[in-house]
Amino acid sequence: MKLSDGFDARRLRPRGSGSWRWRFAAALAALFAGFGVLLAMAGAATLLGRPPALGPLNDSTGAAIVLLLFGLLFLWVGVLGWRLCRRRSRRRNGLSMSPHLMKKRD
């Protein structure tokens, strides 16, 4: 099939506005994940017998377990949020194709 000289495929589907909201949400989710990693490391350090990283906040074993669980929870929520935001920001508005047919770039 021969294409004409004036054909431009990018004109057929004009690009919408920028996805700054999804980028901001992805950055916030990454901060949650980072904060979760730090909390989990502080809780694990106390459970392993190292000096407490947060002073009197995690002196006991129970407080260290709570910090570890909250850290893992923040990490899990942050990773899920980051993946959701990345998927939403890369979704095209024009075509209704199955997600498994798209190219795998991430």
The answer as to whether 5 is a domain residue is no
The answer as to whether 25 is a domain residue is yes
pLDDT digits (tens, 9 = 90+) for 14-65: 556 667 888 899 999 999 999 999 999 988 888 888 766 667 776 788 888 9
The answer as to whether 102 is a domain residue is no
Residue given tokens 């498994």 in the structure block: 100
- What does the alpha-carbon distance between residue 81 and residue 62 come to, in Å, rounded to a whole number? 28
Contacts of 52 (CB under 8 A, 6+ apart): 42, 45, 46, 58, 59, 64
- What does the alpha-carbon distance between residue 64 and residue 35 come to, in Å, rounded to a whole number? 15
What's the whole-model pTM score?
A: 0.67
- Residues 72 and 36 sit within 8 Å (Cβ to Cβ): yes
- What does the alpha-carbon distance between residue 50 and residue 43 come to, in Å, rounded to a whole number? 10
Amino acid occupying residue 77 = V
pLDDT digits (tens, 9 = 90+) for 52-104: 666 777 678 888 899 899 999 999 999 999 999 888 887 765 555 566 666 66
The answer as to whether 80 is a domain residue is yes
Q: How many domains does the chain have?
A: 1
The answer as to whether 15 is a domain residue is no
Show the domain range for 52.
20-90
The answer as to whether 67 is a domain residue is yes
